[in-house]
Structure 1
Amino acid sequence: MRGRSRGSGSFPPAINTKAWFIAAILAIGFSDSRSAMSIWKSAHGGVFSMAIRANGEFFQPPVQPICAQPTMWLAALSHPIVCLVRKLELLVALLVFVMAACFFIEMSIVKPPSKEVIRGLFVPSLSGPGATGDTIALLGALVMPHNLFLHSALVLSRNTPSSVKGIKDACRFFLFESGIALFVALTINICIVSVSGIICKNSAVVYGVALLACGTSSTITGTYAGQYVMQGFLDINVKQWLRNLMTRSIAIVPSLVVAIIGGSSGAGRLIIMASMILSFELPFALIPLLKFSSSSNKMGENKNSIYIIGFSWILGFIVIGINIYFLSSKLVGWILHNSLPIYANVLICIIVVPLMLLYISAVIYLTFRKDTVKFASRGELQMILSFELPFALIPLLKFSSSSNKMGENKNSIYIIGFSWILGFIVIGINIYFLSSKLVGWILHNSLPIYANVLICIIVVPLMLLYISAVIYLTFRKDTVKFASRGELQMILSFELPFALIPLLKFSSSSNKMGENKNSIYIIGFSWILGFIVIGINIYFLSSKLVGWILHNSLPIYANVLICIIVVPLMLLYISAVIYLTFRKDTVKFASRGELQMILSFELPFALIPLLKFSSSSNKMGENKNSIYIIGFSWILGFIVIGINIYFLSSKLVGWILHNSLPIYANVLICIIVVPLMLLYISAVIYLTFRKDTVKFASRGELQVPETDKSKVANDSDNVEHKDQLV
């Protein structure tokens, strides 16, 4: 389901905003910082061939700006136009398998004791300083909270059938997909833990490539998780490239500072700290997801089973308990053993303890908060649509029954009467239902009198407003009048000169029409008719305006104001007609000879590919041109090309020698024109001598046996059936 369904549909707006902030910090501030540091470590160790040394010197300050580039490249590669969701999923899967292969190679090089690895896998123990923190960091790195939103949002990109069986099949396939992904992540983490601390020079490059794949995949998923989180909680869509730029910059800058100042140890501590914070923030994504997917109100028949609910909540409480235990024990141990003065410890406790209590309170609130959001049932939605029906039905009836708007196509008297009767019945039922429900509820509820009076004060005006709106729509007089046919024809007559004059001037121009221009008789007759129409229009406008001014009952200042507005518009109309009539035609069309010359220069770019195609045995087979046609055609082609080049060169040289322009102008013209001529000659030579590398399939390769056709059809049906499920 959408992040919005878990967020904005289940919690108040204030809680939504806080939940979005926490999830965005997860996706940007901590996950991306880990990704950036992983990419930089791998860049130093693998990409730039600076092997990770056994003494832990991962970084040198000058390398950092160069190592920051992969995260910025991902900002362009993850643009939805360049890389769609399916391609990104394929890229992430490829990176994960590269990571797994690198760590397995690392294990084969390092060769950790297999018995100890298996015993530590099934008999876990926390021994040594910092073991609990490393365990929490490993949990946060394995189950990144923001990826819970990403996994649930990616369900929307699947073509899931709406039937019950289709949804169950889709849930089963999504379970397999997530299970396989987490199993691969588990094996990778086993390899990481097994080879940690034993990296040697021979395996440094492999380890660097693995870190590069890890950081790059986390960069992609962090960006998309941030978009889905913002879209879900706040219903805000941000362009992908802008989100990539912001998130990558926010993540890279602090990581870069830590890497330069703190060196290898600072970068390592930053990765561990970011992973631990991911584990601490896990309940704020896990608890809403569990409550949403276990709610029969929201999920219906598709809610989690009782076994999944119980097992998930047990695991969730274990994670929460480990986090709280780690925070408490670390704080108490640090307070008891540090060398700070007492007042400093007291001040730290005053700041930190309320934050810990706030964390625990927020987890308890999310866990035990009662779900008050109820989705509307189909019956309730249909009831709401019934109350809104008059606001669509009445305007439709009035419009389709109006002779002013529909003319002869308006509804008949029988359809009008029958429709209005049905409409009033529906409206009456709605009003009766609302009134009876309200009166019945007021009479039989157990609220005190003042509460019922307050409810009536609020609800009764809303009901009266509903009834008033229906009455207004029903009896409102239609004041919009469409122009009649005569008025439209009059407007078209006034606009006629602006289409007629350009047409007459164009069709009478010897420059544009040549021999096909109008004869002198058509020109004279057309212009006479045109001037008659224009004169009638101007006479009509003037006489109407003067007559209306003389005979209306408006005061003098109103008539003067109207004349000030209308007379300039009439003069503008007359000026536009005069301008179109006497405007000199300055546009000169290319003559037939000039067009033929241009076509002659373009001829090689059509002729050479045609000759090469029709003369190729690879493309034409037995139907290719004979040797005589090939030779004759190429000779003619080279003659045409030679004439074109000779004409261009001689014209340019002659014009340069005999014009009256200064020397610098001629030099500038040569600098522009000569490269264009050389480009023309180079293009012709390229088309002529370019080797043909495209091979067409023969008839035998195109033909498929009948048995293979049926097999291909069955395979395509199976693939289509699988695509509908997965």
Structure 2
Amino acid sequence: MEHTSLSDVHQSVETNGKSKWKRIFAFLGPAYLVSVGYMDPGNWATDLAGGSQYGYKLLWVLLMSNLMALLLQSLAARLGIVRGRDLAQANRETYPPAVNFVLYLLAEIAIAATDLAEVLGMAIGIQLLTGLPLIWGVSLTILDTFLLLFLQQYGIRKMEAFIIGLVAIVGTSFLIELLLVRPEMNEVVKGFIPTIPDNNALYIAIGIIGATVMPHNLYLHSALVQTRKIKKDNKGIRQAIKMNFIDSTIALNLAFLVNAAILILAAAVFYKSGRTDVAEIQDAHQLLDKLLGNKLAPVLFAVALIAAGQSSTVTGTLAGQIVMEGYLRLRINPWLRRIITRLLAIIPALITILWFGDKEVGALLVFSQVLLSLQLGFAIIPLIHFVSDKKQMGEFAIKPLTRVFSWVVTSLLVYLNLRMVFTEAFNYMSGTGNMAVDALIILACVGFVILLVITIVYPLRQRYRDDAAAGIHHAQVSLGDMEAPSYKRIAMALDFSGRDREIISNAIAHGNEQTEYILIHIVESASAKYSGKESDDLETRRDQEQLDTYITLLKSRGHRAKGVLGFRRRAKEIARIVKEENADFLVLGAHGHKGFKDWLYGETANQVRHHVKIPVLLVQ
């Protein structure tokens, strides 16, 4: 069975419009969803720490990270466009199950670390703007679970427009901040000269890289580009690669400008005034008012922080869906996926606040970004293997020079990660005196290195094996003798809306003269949900009358038909009636609910399909 990435919106955006500008704008969007991960609250902590402690000296790290991000995101987009696979799917089809499971766990850890930064950032923003205690702000962030569900019903383009709007708020806020600060540009330019003053600067630099080049964004981008419907010939693929590179260049440069603005703001306000201890977002907010003497600056700072966190939370959930479906081929309800992801972030945040107090939140933010950096190699190495493989990519495999540059970037990132891991591990071991803990740390470091070696070596030996043709079906396939199925009892679930006509006509189209049609409707009144079959309220009687009307109309056209009312849980009731009536085919309609009911009832079709063992036709 073919598994498509983000199946709900797969190839849902038409790129072959009549107007040239319409074709161009149709491609723009995916990179903006990716770019919010490059300006999320986790970046703020590392940028503030770098700017306040070292002035403009780490600006070059931001620029280098942005160039790395542009290279890697363009490779991820190329993978999705050419092979029609996201990074998680390509890994599943290449690596052994055990390695895949570990890679899946690491990807989930990266997403949890990302969401942790978003939770803390939004909670801090709410606190700064309203004065609400941090612990309550963290608890309230679970409510944004419903935002993604609300946006999803309007399609990918509306979601992209919403994200771009939030990005515009962040960008505008910092543009005004810089106009208020007026940094000395000659000193800013010197910050692009590479230098690492000390080991603490290295730790912050790695944190900046981890906050900028984010592993979950590689999974996300390779899936989002597949929402565009393109011509699968050489010209169409080449155009898609070009347009997505332009999209990435614009979006990531905007993200770089936001990050640079944060670091420059910290350097110009805090470093210059001798406040090199400012690494906390809360401190930065408070000192902006005191040092600038302007009430607008801290308000803009808080608003931008909330917008950054809110935009990142949407893309984080999408990445989680891609990772889970790609590695495990397991699809769960979006609201459940969102709640699980959010709880994984909220729980450590709450524990930190309750146990250590608000003062350790900044350290937790920086640590989350360093944790992200540790996952990078396990996303980048497979990606480079995949886009370098001429057997799978054909003429769209990356050129030798790009390949060399990609491996140099990867080597640099892996070296920095290994250096930091071993430095931190040995520093910790020297102070514990606990042999069991020391042994555990050594085993973890060894495991880290072994997994890196496997991710590098395994695709090299797999690449030339015939059974490693990811996503390519076996050449010799026999369909055998095929006969059109004949259905004797066709069930149809009706919601008494304008869609009923389509449902009934599709059901009849799959039947014949001997077919009997079972019309099902689930009563949704409060009385029906409480009393079930014993319910005799007005809505139940009206629903029965409507069902009888449909049956009479069908019988007048020579069809055999009967009606059955169901009560309480929609999906389970439909499945129960289908089984009791021995139906051999089921026709379902797209639900007619909006808002909260869309969240409540919107997954009926998916749930029914899991509960029945007969063909199901979903009429949109």
TM bucket (normalised to shorter chain) is: 0.5 to 0.7
Which of 452, 463, 467 is the matching residue for 1:363? 452
Flag the 1:236–1:291 CA change in 2: closer, same or farther, 3 A: same
Mapping of residues 424-463 of structure 1, within 5 Å: none
For 2:330, what is the secondary structure of its paired residue? coil
Q: Partner of 1:162: helix, strand, or coil? A: coil
User: What are the residue-to-residue correspondences of 1:595-606 with 2, within 5 Å?
Assistant: none
1:218 matched residue in structure 2: 312
Report what 2:277 is aligned to. none
User: Does the aligned pair in 2 maintain the 1:96–1:217 contact within 8 Å?
Assistant: yes
Find the counterpart in structure 1 of residue 389 from structure 2.
Answer: 295
* 1:606 matched residue in structure 2: none
Query: Relative to 1, partners in 2 of residues 1:221 and 1:77: Cα closer, same or farther, differing over 3 Å?
Result: closer
Q: Does 1:37 align with 2:120?
A: yes
Measured in 2, the distance between the counterparts of 1:159 and 1:323 equals 38
Q: Select 1:190's aligned residue among 260, 264, 271.
A: 260
Aligned to 2:226: 156
**Which residue of 176, 181, 184 maps to 1:113?**
184
Deviations 1:83-118 (A, max 9, x none): 422222222222222212222222223333322322
What is the aligned partner in structure 1 of residue 162 from structure 2? 91
Contact kept, 8 Å, 2:211 with 2:372, in 1: the verdict is yes
2:476 — aligned with what? 384
How far did residue 80 of structure 1 move?
Answer: 5.8
Distance, in Å, in 2 between the alignment partners of 1:116 and 1:368 is: 45
Q: Tell me, in whole angstroms, the C-alpha distance in 1 between the residues paired with 2:316 and 2:395.
A: 32
Residue identity opposite 2:389 in structure 1? S
> Hey, what does 1:354 align to over in structure 2?
443
| Preserved CA contact (<8 Å) 1:76 1:241 | no
CA distance in 2, matches of 1:236, 1:376: 22
The sequence identity of aligned pairs, in percent, is: 28
Counterpart in the other structure of 1:723: none
1:47-86 matches, within 5 Å, as 48=130, 50=131, 62-66=133-137, 68-79=139-150, 81-86=152-157
Residues of 1 paired with 2:449 and 2:206: CA distance? 17
* 1:21–1:376 Cα change, 3 Å: closer
In structure 2, relative to structure 1, the CA distance for the partners of 1:114 and 1:321 (3 Å cut) is same
> Runs of 4 or more off by more than 6 Å in structure 1?
375-378
Tell me, in whole angstroms, the C-alpha distance in 2 between the residues paired with 1:140 and 1:191.
18
Contact 1:79/1:241, CA 8 A, preserved across alignment: no
CA separation in 1, counterparts of 2:261 and 2:475?
A: 59
Distance in 2, matches of 1:134 and 1:75, equals: 34
Partner letter of residue 116 of structure 1? Answer: E
**Is residue 2:99 matched to residue 1:15?**
yes
Aligned residue identity for 1:186: F
Question: Are the counterparts in 1 of residues 152 and 159 from structure 2 also a CA contact under 8 Å?
Answer: no
Do the aligned partners of 1:16 and 1:234 also contact (CA within 8 Å) in 2? no
- Structure 2 Cα separation of the partners of residues 91 and 277 of structure 1: 29
Secondary structure at the counterpart of residue 323 of structure 1: helix
What amino acid does structure 1 have at the position aligned with 2:167? V
The aligned residue for residue 372 of structure 2 is 278
Q: Which runs of 5+ in 1 are unaligned?
A: 51-59, 400-484, 489-726
Larger radius of gyration: 1
Which whole-Å CA distance do the structure 1 matches of 2:418 and 2:474 have between them? Answer: 48
Is this contact kept in 1: 2:142–2:339, CA < 8 A? no
Evaluate the alpha carbon distance shift between residue 381 and residue 115 of structure 1 in structure 2; reply closer, same or farther with a 3 A threshold: closer
Pair 89,41 (structure 1): closer, same or farther in 2 beyond 3 Å:
same
Q: 2:420 aligns with which of 326, 346, 349?
A: 326
- Which consecutive unaligned segments of at least 5 residues does structure 2 have? 1-79, 271-283, 486-512, 515-620
Aligned-pair CA distance for 1:66? 4.3
For residues 611-645 of structure 1, the C-alpha deviation after alignment (integer angstroms, 9 at most, x for no partner) is xxxxxxxxxxxxxxxxxxxxxxxxxxxxxxxxxxx
TM-score (norm 1): 0.49
Q: Is it true that 1:245 corresponds to 2:339 in the alignment?
A: yes
1:94 and 1:20 map into 2 onto residues whose CA distance is: 32
* CA-to-aligned-CA distance 1:452-490 (integer Å, 9 cap, x gap): xxxxxxxxxxxxxxxxxxxxxxxxxxxxxxxxx9xx9xx
Q: Cα distance 1:273–1:83, how it changes in 2: closer, same or farther (>3 A)?
A: farther
Equivalent positions of 1:404-483 (< 5 A) are none
For residues 258 and 39 of structure 1, the distance between their equivalents in structure 2, rounded to whole angstroms, comes to 16
Return the TM-score normalized by structure 2.
0.56
Cα deviation for residue 224 of structure 1 reads: 0.2
Question: Greater helix percent: which structure?
Answer: 1
Q: What's 1:165 paired with?
A: 235
Name whichever structure is richer in strand by fraction.
Answer: 2
Aligned position for 2:197 = 127
* Residue 175, structure 1, aligned to residue 241, structure 2: no
Determine if contact 2:219/2:323 at 8 Å carries over to the other structure.
yes
2:108 corresponds to which of 2, 11, 24: 24
